[in-house]
Structure 1
Amino acid sequence: MGKFEHNISLSEGRSPLISLIVVLLLAFSGFQAIGPLIGVLLTLPFFDFNFMQAMEVLSNPVGNEEAKMPIFIIQGLASIIGFIVVPLLYLRFIEKKPLHIFFNSVSLGTVPVFLLTFIVLAFMFVNSIFIEWNANFKFPESMAGLENMLKSLEEAAKTQTEFLTTFNGFSQFFLAFVVIAVIPAIGEELLFRGFVQNLLIRISGNIHIAIWVAGFLFSAFHMQFYGLVPRMLLGVLFGYLYYWSGSLSTAMVAHFINNGFTIIMMYLYQQNLTSLDVDTEESLPLTFLLILFVLFLGLIYFYRNFFLKHKTIG
């Protein structure tokens, strides 16, 4: 039998922990400050807002239909700057390495894409049990203040998300698809699997610790406690898909399938073209979940063996 190996040498001659902290802080600054500022400045000439009005709309867009398009543009630019531009600049000027270190020579052919598609779809339904559990998590009475604060933040985020993902026309759906499905699939995987996971391998010396901690950081970065566990598990899945294949493209495709399927199904549901509501927090019947879980394990087994066989032959 062969084995999977990761030999991506990031942070050579430097502390991998310091490198991890620096790249996360730079990405966070790009996503939360630099990217949104550039986005606001670029959208102002095209929309009927001044700078202060734009900042006010950004903080509370709900109910302002005209704000949807500029908000999507600003969010897209924030993601591009924070998750793609900043990591690539770090890779080029700090690590002094090419982008292709995250990608091996295995082509992403029909079999891997087929497996990735059904792995992600099966996992999405299996993960619904953790979505329901996390959404209904109860704190001890002594932590009621923290629980109320987190629930308030969650409700505000949910209200804003529902507003932004209620599509009034195909143009809004298409822009949302690019901003929510395409850009994060590339950027978040580049940052959290490409950089964070590989740096954590150097720090811990253990691939499984690296994958789980990277999954936690990926989820924590979204700052939504009541979605922390299911999003962490999704990040862990992406981490193992990347580890077994040796190519970041597999994690990017899996991430795209997850987000893209969700956005498409939301749009179809709003158009009354499907009765499946992917936005629900309720899990599926247990029998159905068990069948999907067994299917998911089987697909994972074939996926892992597909790349293991390739490495052994190679």
Structure 2
Amino acid sequence: MMKYFRTYPPGMQLLLFLLMTFTLFSLALAFIGVMLPKVYGVPTSAIQNITDKSAPVLIHVSLVAQGIGSLMMFAAPSLLFAYLAHPKPIKYLGLKAPQKPIHLLLAVLVMLGAMPVFMALQTLMGHINFGAEVQAKQEAAETVARAYLTMPTFADFIRTFLIVAILPAIGEELFFRGMIMRFTHKSSHNIVLAVLFSAIMFAFVHASYTGLPSIFLAGALLAVIYNLTGSLWCGIAAHLFFNGLQIIFAYVEKGNTNTGAAPTDTGIQWGFVAGGVVLFAGAFYMLWKTRTPLPRNWSDDFDQPQNSTTDENPAIFN
């Protein structure tokens, strides 16, 4: 009979998960560095410094490399560890259908309402001088993002949507909410700490200086959505909407203007932000009123009987 990782102490399980993540991501980097240049006939250095003016083949290869890295760093280790850790890996990761299907829609509406606030916060952060080195790194990251959003054809749009929206939405939710949040709750039995720590790690991995507060808040919101619905699919839907809407807007802008890069607006539209706050408040209130939260023992490796009066999390999230 297979000995599942759940029989090991929590610290050993975490170490195994981190080693698994490091190993798979290292294999991905090796594949990207050795195989992709041979397959596509372009040097690795050429795909590391792309811009929206780069040749389409370079942008394509860079996107493929991004997708492989995302898959092997987030989705693959989470799925593999869950399979080796528990006889019910899908349940272990929280990939169950929401008890109330309306939660999928409410999660998306909550994220839609929060997006203008995140964008305004990022704009405000952009006015802060973090120094020449930080600014150079930020500009380099934004240059790559603009390259990915060139999308001259519909096929390019589909490829970008798959790699930049769908893969991260699934992989990052599995990793940060399905695994990191679970490990934190398992060791602390504190849902607030689990939400905050998973959001901190989410923001740290994305490594964006101007976007750091927005990414942290988005990560915390996704963790709260998971906690209130009890289904990781709701967080995946909200995350996919957040990523995908920006790609759709960029593609539509290019189709309407036919000028290449989408226009940049550095100002804050406060009416847009106010409307988002209203939508967020209404959708979050409905999500709260209809919540089906994670039970107190949701991170346990072995099911434990509970009293019906203690199935839910502490009052702060109830």
TM-score normalised by the chain length of structure 1: 0.81
Q: CA deviation at 1:270?
A: 1.3
Q: Residue 309 and residue 47 in structure 1: after superposition, are their counterparts in 2 closer, same or farther (change >3 A)?
A: closer
Q: Residue 200 and residue 12 in structure 1: after superposition, are their counterparts in 2 closer, same or farther (change >3 A)?
A: farther
Q: What letter is aligned with 2:31? A: I
Q: Residue 218 and residue 98 in structure 1: after superposition, are their counterparts in 2 closer, same or farther (change >3 A)?
A: same
The 2-side partners of 1:214 and 1:282 are apart by 31
Q: CA deviation at 1:220?
A: 0.8
Residue in structure 2 matched with residue 106 of structure 1 by the alignment: 98
**Pair 1:34-2:27 in alignment:** yes
Q: Residue 153 and residue 253 in structure 1: after superposition, are their counterparts in 2 closer, same or farther (change >3 A)?
A: same
Secondary structure of the residue aligned to 1:189 is helix
**Pair 1:68-2:59 in alignment:** yes
Q: Residue 127 and residue 260 in structure 1: after superposition, are their counterparts in 2 closer, same or farther (change >3 A)?
A: same
Secondary structure of the residue aligned to 2:256 is coil
How many residue pairs get aligned? The number is 288
Asked if the contact 1:128–1:282 (Cα under 8 Å) also holds between the matched residues in 2, the reply is no
Asked if the contact 1:131–1:283 (Cα under 8 Å) also holds between the matched residues in 2, the reply is no
Spell out the pairing of 1:168-179 with structure 2 (5 A cutoff).
168-179=152-163
The 2-side partners of 1:265 and 1:108 are apart by 30
User: Which string of whole-angstrom CA distances, capped at 9 and with x for unpartnered residues, describes residues 180-200 of structure 1?
Assistant: 111111100000000001111
TM-score normalised by the chain length of structure 2: 0.80
Of 101, 114, 123 in structure 2, the residue corresponding to residue 123 of structure 1 is 114
Q: Residue 34 and residue 281 in structure 1: after superposition, are their counterparts in 2 closer, same or farther (change >3 A)?
A: farther
Q: Residue 119 and residue 173 in structure 1: after superposition, are their counterparts in 2 closer, same or farther (change >3 A)?
A: same
Residue in structure 1 matched with residue 286 of structure 2 by the alignment: 302
Spell out the pairing of 1:1-314 with structure 2 (5 A cutoff).
13-16=8-11, 19-20=13-14, 23-24=17-18, 26-27=20-21, 30-31=24-25, 33-39=26-32, 43-44=36-37, 46-49=39-42, 53=43, 55-62=44-51, 63-65=53-55, 66-94=57-85, 97-101=88-92, 102-104=94-96, 106=98, 109=101, 111-138=102-129, 147-272=131-256, 280-285=265-270, 287-308=271-292
Q: CA deviation at 1:205?
A: 2.5
The 2-side partners of 1:279 and 1:11 are apart by 49
Identity of aligned residues (%): 23
User: Which string of whole-angstrom CA distances, capped at 9 and with x for unpartnered residues, describes residues 151-184 of structure 1?
Assistant: 1111111112112211121111110000011111
Asked if the contact 2:24–2:77 (Cα under 8 Å) also holds between the matched residues in 1, the reply is yes
Secondary structure of the residue aligned to 1:307 is coil
The 1-side partners of 2:219 and 2:293 are apart by 25
Q: What letter is aligned with 2:67? A: G
Q: Residue 189 and residue 280 in structure 1: after superposition, are their counterparts in 2 closer, same or farther (change >3 A)?
A: farther
Q: What stretches of structure 1 move > 6 A for 4+ residues in a row?
A: 309-312
User: Which string of whole-angstrom CA distances, capped at 9 and with x for unpartnered residues, describes residues 264-307 of structure 1?
Assistant: 01111111179xx796453321x442342132122111012223
Which stretch shifts more, 150-159 or 95-104?
95-104
Asked if the contact 2:46–2:58 (Cα under 8 Å) also holds between the matched residues in 1, the reply is yes
Residue in structure 1 matched with residue 305 of structure 2 by the alignment: none
Q: CA deviation at 1:68?
A: 1.3
Q: CA deviation at 1:138?
A: 3.9
Q: Residue 206 and residue 219 in structure 1: after superposition, are their counterparts in 2 closer, same or farther (change >3 A)?
A: same
The 1-side partners of 2:103 and 2:293 are apart by 13
Q: CA deviation at 1:95?
A: 5.3
Q: Gaps spanning 5+ residues in structure 1: where? A: 1-9, 140-146
Secondary structure of the residue aligned to 2:28 is helix
The 2-side partners of 1:92 and 1:310 are apart by 21
Which stretch shifts more, 89-98 or 250-259?
89-98
Q: Residue 117 and residue 136 in structure 1: after superposition, are their counterparts in 2 closer, same or farther (change >3 A)?
A: same
The 2-side partners of 1:25 and 1:154 are apart by 30
